[in-house]
Amino acid sequence: MDVIGSMSDYPRNVAGENLNVSFPSSIEVLRERGPEFLTQAFRATGVLDRGNEVNAITGFEEFFGGGAGRKAWLSVTYAHDQPGLHTELFVKFPRDFGDPLRPLFSHLMQPEAHFALLSLRSDFPVAVPTCYFADYDPATSTGLLITERIPYGEHGVEPFRDKCQDYKLPDPGAHYRALITALARLAAGHRSGLLGTHIDERFPFELGQVRTDDLIPYSADELSGKIELIREFGAKHPRLMPDHVREPEFLDRFATEAQAFLVREREIKRYLNSQSDFIALCHWNANVDNAWFRRSDDGTLEAGLLDWGSAGQMNVAQGIYGALCATETDIWDAHHDELIALFADEYAAHGGPTLDVDELRLQVRLFAAMLGLAWMVDAPSLVAAQIPDLTPDAGRFDERLHNDFLARAQLQLMNLFLHTWATQDLGAALHSVTR
């Protein structure tokens, strides 16, 4: 839906595909429908007893974070106490009808809704926010998600950890071990049958398939142009990229090897998508900002996971690199081998197939190359668009860059990607598959 118009041109309420409940299409309509709708919605998911109801909305505050949709904090009271009920909730809608970016993001709420409803199982293997309502209407690309609000900085939960600021983590290894453990246990829960038999229906995956929308979105000439912009950006802003990824010798090699990946992309992805033991339900973007952390009774740091818009069946190597792709280069160097082995151990220990760790490391390298070329080489253009007057002497902690989420994140994603290419010899990974 990419037509611009007034909100009156679009439906106020839509029919979901899962719960047979007509739900609001916007924050404004949710305010109007109030406790009556919330009671109906919470009963539909089973979190609210039939004899109970939402009495009142005592707080409703929209806030801005991320770019996929509109979000709000919601506070409610109930007619009766009920074990496990939360009064502080989180609400998420897609971007408004008519927003030109709506078509890019709204469809992500379908797997998010499917996953949220799946997580209501009592034996769910990963900590996630309790789902109060989740549904999606394919006809209008409209979704609504209501979950418990994670109490960052309270009740033993660590403060929120923002993306691409891992230099602030007090114990990076522990945080990433917690993330990888959660990913592995979710994937194992799927492969062991713990999550039921309808995963293929809700999260379809065709073994060996190469989807067109997963391909690198650049022609050979366009990719060359992106790499030339990286070269120019590094020369103009030397403090914004590590020295070794600005060197002409590396960038020349990167440019050549990137073209080789582009030529053989379908072959590589067919190989990666054909490894049945490596395919499982996974989170594609389990960075620290899509998680929360707390200590268990024995002092181990544990992670709960958020934001399942990209959940689905995939090669687990894609999930592993997705979790690590926004970290610091020194954290990557110190921990990535350990974390890949940890995933394999946890995956097998909780009912998943036994994976060859060397093969898993190879596949993580291949996904680093594929995802980096598709998503991370455009950082110079994005930084320039966000901060057009960035000075040549600007460093990574320049206030405007540091406070601009998109610019900060894309720059760090690109830098780690290039560092991985330089230090992990991703060109050799290509040849190991295609020789």
- Is 155 a member of any domain? no
Q: Based on the domain organization, do 144 and 170 belong to the same domain? A: no
Burial class from Cβ neighbours inside 10 Å (0-12, 13-18, 19+) for residue 166 reads buried
Residue 219 has pLDDT above 70, yes or no: yes
Q: Same structural domain for residues 16 and 117? A: yes
pLDDT of residue 434: 59
3-state secondary structure 64-131: CCCCCEEEEEEEEEECCCCCCCCCEEEEEEECCCCCCCHHHHHHHHHHHHHHHHHCCCCCCCCECCCE
DSSP classification of residue 247 = -
Among candidates 324, 321, 333, which has minimal Cα distance to 419?
333
For 244-253, what is the mean pLDDT?
97
* Assigned domain for 153 exists: no
Percent of the chain with pLDDT over 90: 85
Query: What is the total count of domains within the chain?
Result: 2
pLDDT band for position 7 (cuts 50, 70, 90): low
Query: Given a cut of 50, is residue 112 above it in pLDDT?
Result: yes
Same domain, 206 and 120: no
pLDDT greater than 50 at residue 4: no
Both 212 and 99 in one domain: the answer is no
Which structural domain, as residue segments, surrounds residue 82? 7-148
| 341 and 258 fall within a common domain | yes
24/138 same-domain check? yes
Q: Give CA torsion, residues 53, 56, 59, 62, to 10 deg.
A: 70
Closest to 409 (Cα-Cα) out of 365, 376, 368: 376
Note whether 312 and 360 are same-domain residues: yes
Q: What residues form DSSP beta bridges with 56? A: 77
Pair (298, 346) in one structural domain: yes
Q: Is residue 154 part of a domain?
A: no
- The answer to whether residues 170 and 139 belong to one domain is no
For the purposes of burial, counting CB atoms within 10 Å of the CB of 306, is it exposed (0-12), middle (13-18) or buried (19 or more)?
middle
pLDDT > 70? residue 5: no
Report yes or no on 156 lying in a domain: no
Rounded distance between C-alpha atoms, residue 171 and residue 367, angstroms: 26
Read off the CATH number of the domain in which 82 is found.
Answer: 3.30.200
Encoded tokens for 131 = 């789902």
For the CA atoms of 115, 116, 118, 119, the dihedral, rounded to the nearest 10 degrees, stands at 120
Query: Is there a single domain that holds both residue 201 and residue 81?
Result: no
Q: Give me the CATH number covering residue 235.
A: 3.90.1200
Strand 54-63 relative to strand 312-315: parallel, antiparallel, unpaired?
unpaired
- Are 16 and 45 found together in one domain? yes
Could you tell me if residue 391 is inside a domain?
A: yes
- What pLDDT does residue 69 have? 83
What mean pLDDT do residues 302-323 have? 94
pTM: 0.92
In a shared domain, residues 348 and 311: yes
| pLDDT above 90 for 432 | no
